Amino acid sequence: MHNYLLTSTLWLEALVKKEVQRQGYTITEVQDKAIYFEWEIEAIARMNLWSRFGNILYLVFEEQKNMRDFDTYFDTIYNLDWKKHVPSGYEVHIKATAIKSELWAPSTLQALAKKAIVKSLVGDNILREDSTKGTLEVRILMENNTLRVLLNTSGKWLHKRGYREMTGEAPIKENIAAALVILSQWKFREPLYDVFCGSGTIPIEAAMIAKNQAPGLTRSFAFQNWEWVPYDLLEKERKLAKGKEFSGEYTIYASDTDKRVLETAKRNAKFAWVEDCIRFQCMDYKNIIDKQIHGWLVSNPPYGERLEDFDIESIHKDMAQLFAKNKEIQWGVITSHEAFDSYSRAKYKKRKLYNGWELCYFYRKVS
């Protein structure tokens, strides 16, 4: 049995916890931004492939309570089996964080951990590290005097699915887009509209959810190159995941006024294998204002500093007006433009969300 940590964006922990439980894994602890669970080695591949909302899947390599002095800290790390876990020639990259602990200085924790790992690997010799061969990312977490040594099994953050090499100007993170689709409570048989689709992230994530497509299917993971992990594990899990896909018919509309960004969106949808589910159109959102469309509208209108060319004020007023007039439509809008509160006459719920470092609000219709 192994222990794992799946990290989460703040306030998305409930969704991340659910996706771990959905795989049948045993949750051992939930904290802000952190879901701990245990399972066999299969989870290293399955959870990386299937996490729609998480950030990074770590393997908990060591956990020690009552870590209060540097000698014990050094010895604990030194005594771990690094020869088995560091692929030959790899660079070892260490990042330490300390919260409410007697050993509190991250730079000292980092330097000592590196010393201990190098000594464990090559004794007093020089460790030859070559970042072109690869990097093993080690996270040292000291929390309430408990030491955790974590190995990054994902590599790049899990929101980087692999389909979005190109983006528009202010793209939403893929895992946040997926969360919006779930939080909007979209019913897959109903039409879904994104009238500010940009590089297509919300429609693409919606299609992947509807098709039950594993979000990590087209990307690689750090653990693939670890010799102690069975070499065919990921391939087996990929095959299993492909077998779980649905092939229903979905009506997802994606539109934007920027032709160039629409081309990018189409390309992204193709890379994500969902282009057959999405109808792209170059269109101003104003075209839908007087139409009695029904279904769900989940969108990310221009807001904030990065898109200052647009008349953000009018766009938000218009959206609020549309929602007040069209009682048929279910809607969810992510924006950092708080004046939406004063425009909206429809009943809504508002929740905070971070898109990267940017604090946003997700407004969702309630009946």
Ligand X SMILES: C[S@@+](CC[C@H](N)C(=O)[O-])C[C@H]1O[C@@H](n2cnc3c(N)ncnc32)[C@H](O)[C@@H]1O
With CB atoms as reference, the residue minimizing the distance to ligand X is: 198
Could you report how far apart the first and last alpha carbons of the chain are, in Å?
A: 46
Minimum Å gap between C-beta 167 and ligand X is 6
Residue 355 binds to ligand X (criterion: CB under 6 A): no
Residue 246 binds to ligand X (criterion: CB under 6 A): no
Candidates 129-137, 212-220, 255-263, 320-328; binding stretch for ligand X (CB under 6 A): 255-263
Residues in contact with 191: Cβ distance below 8 Å, sequence separation at least 6, in sequence order: 251, 252, 253, 293, 294, 295, 296
Candidates 43-51, 111-119, 295-303, 359-367; binding stretch for ligand X (CB under 6 A): 295-303
Sheet holding 358-365, edge to edge: 278-282, 252-256, 192-194, 296-299, 330-335, 358-365, 348-355
Residue 175 binds to ligand X (criterion: CB under 6 A): no
Distances (CA, A) of 65 to 32, 51, 145, 207, 362: 20, 29, 6, 44, 39
Nearer to ligand X, 13 or 174 (CB): 174
Minimum Å gap between C-beta 134 and ligand X is 30
Q: Which amino acid is at 64?
A: Q
Q: Which of the 8 DSSP states describes residue 171? A: P
Residue 302 binds to ligand X (criterion: CB under 6 A): yes
Q: In whole angstroms, how large is the CA radius of gyration of the chain?
A: 23
Residue 198 binds to ligand X (criterion: CB under 6 A): yes
Strand, coil or helix: 183: helix
278 phi/psi in degrees, rounded to 5: -120, 135
Residue 172 binds to ligand X (criterion: CB under 6 A): yes
Candidates 13-21, 199-207, 219-227, 320-328; binding stretch for ligand X (CB under 6 A): 199-207
Minimum Å gap between C-beta 174 and ligand X is 8
Residue 201 binds to ligand X (criterion: CB under 6 A): yes
Interacting residues toward ligand X by CB under 6 A: 167-168, 170-172, 195-196, 198-199, 201-202, 256-258, 261, 284-285, 300-302, 307, 310
